[in-house]
Amino acid sequence: MNARTLIIECGVAATRAALIENDETRRFWFGPARGDEGEDIAPRAGRRFAGRVRVIDRSLNAAFVDVGDGLDAYLPLNKTNQPHVTEGALIGVVVKSPPRQGKGAVLKYLDDFDVKCDAPGRLAPFHDAVIEATIAIGEGVEEITIDDGKASAVLKASGVKANISYEQHSVALFEVYDVESALETAFDRYAPLKGGGNLVIDEVQALTAIDVDTGGLTASSPVRLREKIAIAAAYEAARQIRLRNIGGHIVIDFPSISGKAARARFNEQLQNAMACIDGAGAFSFSKSGLFSFTAPHRAQSVQERFTDVAPGTPLPGRRFTLDWQAKSAIRSLEHRLRAEPRAVLHLRLGLSLNDYMKARAIWFDRLRDRYGARFEIVADNKMEERSFDVSE
């Protein structure tokens, strides 16, 4: 595999992409299925929306705007936009930063907005999902591998400067290129370090905290061990921040390193690691030794976007959203249908998941078009609400 490769899966319910650098997964992109681009209303940075001004808060000198995603987006007011931003008005906005921790997106007013709609929502143009994936995380890739022949042709016609190859296997591309396992780790609180120990990653309301857990490691030279672990943690933290799409204020608690020469070596490696995070800045160490910096918040992290709070005692945990589970269920069924061309399969769904998927019958229509009517959907009240199972 080339040094920088983009893997794109085109499913009936979603498009997934992953950037691989030197055989290691670095970034993910998740978008709608090809043909559903206009329904992708997620307020990602740079996207344009028609927004309805819900209320103006004079104390904040800001407006709260409905862009169609269910959250109140925040629009700062100034002399330029204030005459046009009135309660109830439909205005054009562009997303500066996406929703975070339950708060709506931050917006910028569009001066050239031409009202051609009567309700909030995303504005055209809508790129083909594979082109948007390439724009989002494929800059500078030498090779793009895709599992859909028509999508491959679209990419080639777009003028993308990369070697584009079409591959379809009996298993998913994410499995073929070991991306699926990296995706699983992106939701785990713990990220293992090479040589031992873990990062402990917690995304909370105001920041992301990363602790370096040495895991009880011992060595003949504890000082050298701390330096080695700290350097490994710096590179793995940079990788996990990109992998999980974490932005905002980030704090890392590295092991303390004694000795001027050792600290100089670590600081050099830390700078190299941080250079891997596009747009990172405001680096500093506190008096207590905590390292902090900021990274651009262009899209929601995988945790924010694909999990929600689940009831728990004494503290709530997180669970996958209905949308994530629904697309996972469809993807599992699709992969089995492709891998087992003679099998008749049953997709069993928990009741909440079944209700959610009833409104998305087009996914099943696409499966029938591709693989025939070799499956049935079964609602199972004995399963957990968001669970699914594929079997013959």
Whether 321-391 and 48-122 are alike in CATH topology: the answer is: no
pLDDT in tens, 239-277: 999 999 999 999 999 988 888 999 999 999 999 999 999
Q: pLDDT of 122-170, one tens digit each?
A: 998 899 999 999 999 998 899 999 999 999 999 999 999 999 999 989 8
Q: How many residues does the chain have?
A: 392
Q: Is the pLDDT of residue 221 over 70?
A: no
Which tokens in the block code for residue 184? 């699983």
User: Domain boundaries in the chain?
Assistant: 4-39+126-180, 48-122, 186-295, 321-391
Lowest mean pLDDT among 16-25, 27-36, 49-58, 210-219: 210-219
CA atoms within a 13 Å half-sphere pointing along the CA-CB vector of 324: 15
Q: H-type helices in 47-172, by residue range?
A: 129-137, 149-157
- Does domain 321-391 bear CATH number 3.30.2320? yes
Task: Say whether domain 4-39+126-180 belongs to CATH 3.30.420.40.
Answer: yes
CA neighbor of 253 nearest in space, from 276, 224, 282, 226: 226
- Fold classification of 48-122 (topology level): OB fold (Dihydrolipoamide Acetyltransferase, E2P) (2.40.50)
- Which of 138, 132, 139 lies closest to 30, judged by CA? 132
User: In Å, what is the CA distance from 95 to each residue of 123, 160, 355?
Assistant: 12, 26, 32
CATH number of 186-295: 3.40.630
Query: Which residue, 24, 25, 20, 26, is CA-closest to 6?
Result: 20
